[in-house]
Structure 1
Amino acid sequence: MARHLPLPAPRPVVQSLRTADTARTSIQRLSHRRMRVAIDHRPLAGITPQMLLWWFRHIGDDLVYAGETMSAYLAWHPLDHIRWELARPAPGGGAGEGARYRIVEAFGRDDDFYVDSVERVEKLDETGIRLVRRVAGAQVFQLEHTWSAGVEGTHYVSVMDLGARTRAATALNLYLTSHVFPVAMAEAWVRHNVEEVGVLEHLLPEVFRQRPDEAPAAAP
């Protein structure tokens, strides 16, 4: 995919990024040339599902990170994130269900793993978020993050599905999973996603220290 936006200078990494081996991950080939990438993250200590719901509703807000005011999205992954836009507000306004997010990033700051895409938020509540892209009415991409409270913190699982489910879409699915988002890119996304989810464990408490009036209940 052609580069549309340049990578900004990296922001400081104020906490060590998690490594892929801290999560349980898999990349599966499914019927009709589809692909599924799943990540079961290490729990997020001190984070609640309510905090995560607030985060995704406010991902475009500004915050102070490492002494500098910037978009929350840029702070979320200080190396790979390029831009987040509310391409279309939710029916009730803002970044809730029904909104469309534009997400621009480069996994590992690598030009070969550059993404600039718009997805519809088909679900956003205290159990998770689901982002979907359709072509001619057929779902060709879905990314779902699910959250639940646990003893060690919030349990967070990410599942990406690439390709439509019908046999007629086999050729399209093959193109998607071999050229648009091949296995090497899926592996890079796994590393990226493990890193950015881990950042939330440290970033969200700082966000709510800056905005105490908006803080949901903290984890015990």
Structure 2
Amino acid sequence: MTAPDLPAPRPVLWPLRPLDSAAVRTAARDGRTVVTIRHALLSDVTPEMLSWWYCHVPGTMRYAGKQWPRYLVWHPLDHITYDVTSPGTDGTVGPGARLHITEAPGRNLDQLIDIKVGVEQIDSQAAIISSRLLGTALVRLENEFTATRGGTRYVTRLTIGDHTPAGRLVLNRLAHTKAFPPAKLTAWIRHHIEEVGNLENFLPDLFRYRADHEP
């Protein structure tokens, strides 16, 4: 497989959150690896905004004086492509939609994440996607939102592998060696903390703007 071209970095208008801004815990369970990330408060962001965002990552927005794809703004250094290969059952990026996502944590193509996932849930409580094979979740990413004073508490849970017979026999090894080997997982954790933290810098304004300009 040919690696995609890494697009030029976009302007970084706000500091990216450091690794130690979040609490990270990694645990091994029945052949699976579960990474839980408790992000610092997303100030002035609501669960409604996050639900809207995950349904509307495709599209463009005004940033640094020009129009950019929203996905490239979300992480201005690492993101490459975000394609909706098929819409959800209601014709949107919702449950049943298929996505093809590429990103290079740390702008390092040796750590390229090139993954096709299905959307399981997007609402004001969570956004959940997974990559499945033979009924087994190779990778499952759960993002959970809870409103609190001043913003939203955001917790991520990344599960690598599954407890199905196929997972225990073969596919968990594939998930740990191909999808998220240790070095790539470490790079992704930092990347994810940065991209989630960046939402508080642009999402409130984008959400208000869309209320006046989008159906």
Q: TM-score range by the shorter chain?
A: over 0.9
The question of whether the paired residues in 1 share the 8 Å contact of 2:81 and 2:102 is answered with yes
Does 2:44 align with 1:30? no
Which 4+ residue blocks in structure 1 deviate beyond 6 angstroms? none
TM-score where L is the length of structure 1: 0.91
Where 1:60 maps in the other structure, the secondary structure is coil
Deviation, 1:151, is 1.5
In structure 2, stretches of 5+ residues that fail to align are none
Aligned to 2:11: 12
Q: Distance in 1 between matches of 2:161 and 2:186?
A: 17
Structure 1 residue aligned with 2:98, among 97, 100, 125? 100
Structure 2 residue aligned with 1:53, among 43, 51, 54? 51
Q: How do residues 124-135 of structure 1 correspond to structure 2 at under 5 angstroms?
A: 124-135=122-133
Structure 2 residue aligned with 1:85, among 83, 86, 109? 83
The question of whether the paired residues in 2 share the 8 Å contact of 1:208 and 1:214 is answered with no
The question of whether the paired residues in 1 share the 8 Å contact of 2:139 and 2:161 is answered with yes
Distance 1:184 1:4, change over 3 A: closer
| 1:130-179 Cα distance to aligned partner (Å, 9 max, x none) | 10111112222100100010123100011110112135533431232134
Q: How do residues 1-220 of structure 1 correspond to structure 2 at under 5 angstroms?
A: 2-32=1-31, 34-170=32-168, 171-213=170-212
Q: Distance in 2 between matches of 1:57 and 1:169?
A: 30
Letter in 2 for 1:22: S
Letter in 2 for 1:163: G
Q: Distance in 1 between matches of 2:98 and 2:63?
A: 26
Q: Distance in 2 between matches of 1:15 and 1:194?
A: 14
The question of whether the paired residues in 1 share the 8 Å contact of 2:81 and 2:101 is answered with yes
Where 1:211 maps in the other structure, the secondary structure is helix
Aligned-residue identity in percent: 39
Q: Distance in 2 between matches of 1:28 and 1:152?
A: 31
Alignment RMSD (CA, Å): 1.6
In structure 1, stretches of 5+ residues that fail to align are 216-220
Q: Distance in 2 between matches of 1:214 and 1:143?
A: 31
Q: Distance in 1 between matches of 2:94 and 2:173?
A: 32
Aligned to 1:218: none
TM-score where L is the length of structure 2: 0.93
Q: Distance in 2 between matches of 1:162 and 1:47?
A: 28
Distance 1:103 1:179, change over 3 A: closer
- Of the structure 1 ranges 41-50 and 150-159, higher mean CA displacement relative to structure 2 is found in 150-159
The question of whether the paired residues in 1 share the 8 Å contact of 2:119 and 2:129 is answered with yes
The question of whether the paired residues in 2 share the 8 Å contact of 1:44 and 1:153 is answered with yes
Q: Distance in 1 between matches of 2:150 and 2:208?
A: 22
